[in-house]
Structure 1
Amino acid sequence: MSDEPSVPRPVPSAVPAPGGLVGPLWVVTRGAGPPLVLLHGNGEDHHVFDRMVPTLGVGRMLVGIDSRAHGRSPRGEGPLRIATMADDVAVVLGLLGLPAADVLGFSDGGNVALELALRHPGRVRRLVVVGANLFPEGMTAGTLRTARAADAVISALARVVPPLRVAAERVALMVDDPCLDPADLARVAVPTLVVAGERDIIRPAHTRLIVESIPGARGAVVAGAGHMLPRQEPHRLAALVSEFLADPRDA
């Protein structure tokens, strides 16, 4: 897999609100400075980070991206998979003329960020993953049972109600993806911060596995918090991310 996707004509890196399509995805940028890419979770769009923008945007260009089949991004062709979403992000960065960027991914966006670091390592400068997992069993047993039940119901409905097919694909991501081998994370060669809530839907042991599998990675647990950190604890999470990105050891 090439680190430099073949892209036609780069477009200006600034895509101010409300944003626009950049290649396959809807993108919006804010501010100026070193770029920080924001990757949202399942069923969301880039607005999940809105309450973090005032802190994260100081001295940076924020690049909000809606993953394919989410927000204002089209479904696109081929399978809806975490790896495909990572390839989309690499294409967008190329079109924006950004050789590399810091990346913050939440939930499925964290899974996309991990795939991006593995499939396109030259595109990631520093990496923050929040509430990420390597495979579905990384979620708590109750969460996985609920996801599988929801998948069974909506996939059955989608067979007779075609407009539900994209929603069914998004739910299926939680039970079929990601498919990352912890051993592969040894190839992540950029400074990495792994964050989870104390009461996250990701098992604590699984979060520790991610930290221990990435060379030199740091871990942080937000006390008393659940999974939806960007919305429930935006100030605490933004402070963690900003402190990590400002650390001169990782410059």
Structure 2
Amino acid sequence: MTTLESLHHPGRLVGPLWAVAVGHGPPLVLLHGNAESHRVFDRLVPLLAPRMTLVGLDSRGHGRSPRGTGELRISRMADDVADVMAELDLAGVPILGFSDGGNIALDLAARHPGLAGPLIVVGANLDPSGLTPATKLMTDLEHVACRSASRFVPGLGWRVERLALMATDPAIDPAELQAVTQPVLVVVGERDVIRPEHTDLIVAALPDAELLRIPRVGHMIPIDAAPQLALAVQGLLRRADRSPGPVAGLHAAR
């Protein structure tokens, strides 16, 4: 069994994914977004690492994780996280997922009951219709253009795959979220690329969820609103340790 201590800088490959740990205290798993790595959470490190061990995972084909074989899908990436959490003995540990990482966290919790602890999902969507019309149009156009160009420029294949994760994925049925019974905090920016009504759908579909909309912020919350996100993490984990009720100090809304 790989230990968290062995993952401190520079990290190592655990099963299919590159993993790195920083900090001291109870663990929190971090799942990044599309075309990123665990480094997207760098601004959270000084805010949370003194109180907890942050375990950053690079998704398949991202950061330092190998691409592997087969189709790149959110569901498969969630299965990768399940494998790593089992290897690291992290069952029941809270997960913070941003963007595609939030999608992965929801898919993981729905299909692997009991593995994930409380969830903080930031800028997540259940399917491509959750994107704002302008964002979806730009994504679809770029996906089609890159897919066509990749026939002549093979190096564009990686871009086509990552765009497909937004253009055709994820595919999570809201009914599946009934299996996610742990506390969930859904976080979005006031100017996010996720449609507000789609975020409301996610919150309504989860048995124990609260919503935090951060004013004057877009999609890149871990970078642009790290202090607010750190407070959200701490608030949810305090609530999960006590009993169901409002997240302390977050002005959450249903």
TM-score of the superposed pair, with normalisation by structure 2: 0.92
Give yes or no for the alignment of 1:65 onto 2:65.
no
Deviation of 1:97 after TM superposition, in Å, equals: 2.3
- Following TM superposition, the consecutive aligned residue runs of length 4 or more in structure 1 with deviations greater than 6 angstroms are none
Shift of 1:122: 1.7
C-alpha distance in structure 2 between counterparts of 1:174 and 1:73, whole Å: 20
Partner SS, residue 187 of structure 2: strand
Taking the aligned partners of 2:94 and 2:182, their CA distance within structure 1 comes to 10
CA RMSD of superposed structures (Å): 1.1
**How many pairs align?**
241
Residue identity over aligned pairs, in percent, reads 51
Task: Give the corresponding residue for 1:12.
Answer: 3
Q: How many Å separate the matches in 1 of 2:88 and 2:233?
A: 23
Identify which of 175, 185, 194 aligns with 1:193: 185
Cα distance in 2 for partners of 1:141, 1:78 equals 30
Q: Deviations over 1:106-156 (max 9, x none)?
A: 000000000110111221110110000000000100000000011011111
SS of residue in 2 equivalent to 1:121? coil
Q: Distance between the aligned counterparts of 2:92 and 2:236, measured in 1?
A: 17
1:1-251 matches, within 5 Å, as 10-14=1-5, 15-247=7-239, 248-249=242-243
| In 1, Cα distance between equivalents of 2:12 and 2:155 | 24
> Structure 1 residues 51-60 or 119-128, which shifts more?
51-60
Residue matched to 2:251: none
Deviates more, 1:51-60 or 1:68-77: 51-60
Query: Match of 2:176, as an amino acid?
Result: D
SS at match of 2:29: strand
Amino acid at match of 1:249: S
Task: Give the whole-Å Cα distance in 2 for the aligned partners of 1:61 and 1:216.
Answer: 25
Structure 1: how far apart are the matches of 2:111 and 2:197?
Answer: 25
Structure of greater relative contact order (alpha carbons < 8 Å, 6+ residues apart): 1
CA-CA distance at 1:249 after TM superposition: 2.2
Task: Answer yes or no: is the 8 Å Cα contact 2:180–2:207 preserved in 1.
Answer: yes
Q: Partner letter of residue 165 of structure 1?
A: G
Q: Is the 8 A contact 1:93 1:100 kept in 2?
A: no
CA positional deviation for 1:31: 2.1
Q: CA deviation at 1:165?
A: 1.0
Aligned to 1:3: none
Q: TM-score, normalised by structure 1?
A: 0.93
Unaligned runs of 5+ residues in structure 1 are: 1-9
Cα distance in 2 between the residues matched to 1:157 and 1:27: 33
